[in-house]
Amino acid sequence: STAVPKTLTIGLIPGDGIGKEVIPAGKQILQALPSQYGLNFKFLDLRAGFEEFQKSGVALPDETVEILKKSCDGALFGAVSSPTYKVKGYSSPIVALRKKMGLYANVRPVKWVEGVGIPVDMVIVRENTEDLYIKEERIYEKNGQKIAEAIKRISENASRKIGKMAFEIALNRQHVRELGGSSLHKSPSVTVIHKSNVLSVSDGLFRETVKKVYESDPARYGSIEYKEQIVDSMVYKMFREPAQFDVVVAPNLYGDILSDGAAALVGSLGVVSSANVGDDFVIGEPTHGSAPDIQGKGIANPVATIRSTAMMLEFMGYQEPAAKIFSAVDENLKENKVTTPDLGGKSSTQEVVEDIIRRF
């Protein structure tokens, strides 16, 4: 087209370890997008992480948050290493970033490679601000015994927001499917995870609120199939027949557990992407850590980051280039020739990036 390309400013936060090797892969992918999509990119390099903490005493500099808020349309976050010992004054910068940027949802798709392993093509939408993670714990003694309690807080507001996001993601996935690319699903569905047979008040509120969101807008959500699943039987079904799930929405703790379990369905951590999403900002993030065992070798799998880059675009409203990236990745994985050692291949990070780009 002859339209003037739009420039998007993307914050790059490599963090520690292989974060520094995979974030440049995301950058190259954006730079290589065909001009037909009408997008140009400007990149801002931002600081955060354990190394940054060791240098400056601050894991997440205020400047990083300010630049994200003032100047960026979206961002990519690599990884931060979590020291196994407790370090005074250090806390995870990604957790702080989610809070400061209002990123209340963690969205994690898990997709198989056609012909390899068990068929799965689902996305877990995890509420990220409340539930047991408010960390309101106390310990006291009664009759000479220690007793500990933790509060599980579920609010109507947060449940409504995450519910709405889940239904919107279901519609969006359907849209991306219609743009092409492989998928297990023909029509959208949303499964709500709960344990309200036991926790009828808290999980009951979550379940009812999400259901209300669904019922409130039949014109918009009518094409989506609505389902509910108790968390324990969800674990069983997710491992036995994961193909039946499309979008899964869960309170924080169940979402955390299901996300890691689901990642086990697809082989390597190096292919699992995520996005931290709020009302007006998104940060794409591979789900793996800083992988100190392979750091500096140039063999980190860039696929998780490349898929996270596509997710970032998707949530920014650019479905077409996102679909292009997803299908180039699927083709690379399906061919199974140019892959990194974690997938049994012999290729470098850079060779995988180039193999994906040549499929654009």
Q: Does 288 bind ligand ATP (CB under 6 A)?
A: yes
Nearer to ligand ATP, 23 or 304 (CB): 304
Alpha-carbon gap, residue 110 to 169, rounded angstroms: 14
| Binding letters toward ligand ATP, positions 10-49, x by CB under 6 A | --------x-------------------------------
Least distance between ligand ATP and beta carbon 288 (Å): 3
Pairing type for strands 39-45 and 6-15 reads parallel
Alpha-carbon gap, residue 78 to 61, rounded angstroms: 16
Q: Using the rule CB under 6 A, which residue among 300, 322, 338, 353 binds ligand ATP?
A: 300
- Could you say which of Mg ion, ligand ATP, none residue 108 binds, taking C-beta under 5 to 8 angstroms by partner kind? none
CA R_g for the chain: 20
Alpha-carbon gap, residue 131 to 123, rounded angstroms: 20
Q: Using the rule CB under 6 A, which residue among 54, 82, 91, 197 binds ligand ATP?
A: 82
- Could you say which of Mg ion, ligand ATP, none residue 54 binds, taking C-beta under 5 to 8 angstroms by partner kind? none
Q: Which range of residues in 3-11, 51-59, 174-182, 283-291 is near ligand ATP by CB under 6 A? A: 283-291
Query: Contacts with ligand ATP: how many residues (CB under 6 A)?
Result: 18
Q: Does 246 bind ligand ATP (CB under 6 A)?
A: no
Q: What is the number of helices (H) and of strands (E) in the chain?
A: 12, 12
Least distance between Mg ion and beta carbon 289 (Å): 3
CB 150: neighbour CB atoms within 10 A? 12
Residue type, 94: I
Q: Does 342 bind ligand ATP (CB under 6 A)?
A: yes
Q: Using the rule CB under 6 A, which residue among 81, 229, 308, 319 binds ligand ATP?
A: 81
Q: Looking at beta carbons, which residue is closest to ligand ATP?
A: 289
Task: Decide: helix, strand or coil at residue 282.
Answer: strand
Q: Using the rule CB under 6 A, which residue among 30, 59, 79, 265 binds ligand ATP?
A: 79
Is 107 in contact with 311 (CB distance < 8 Å)? yes
Place of tokens 């650019």: 318
Strands (E), the chain: 6-15, 39-45, 74-79, 105-113, 116-127, 137-142, 145-150, 189-194, 225-230, 247-250, 275-277, 282-284
Residues at the contact surface with ligand ATP, assessed by CB under 6 A: 18, 79, 81-82, 269-270, 288-294, 300-301, 304, 340, 342
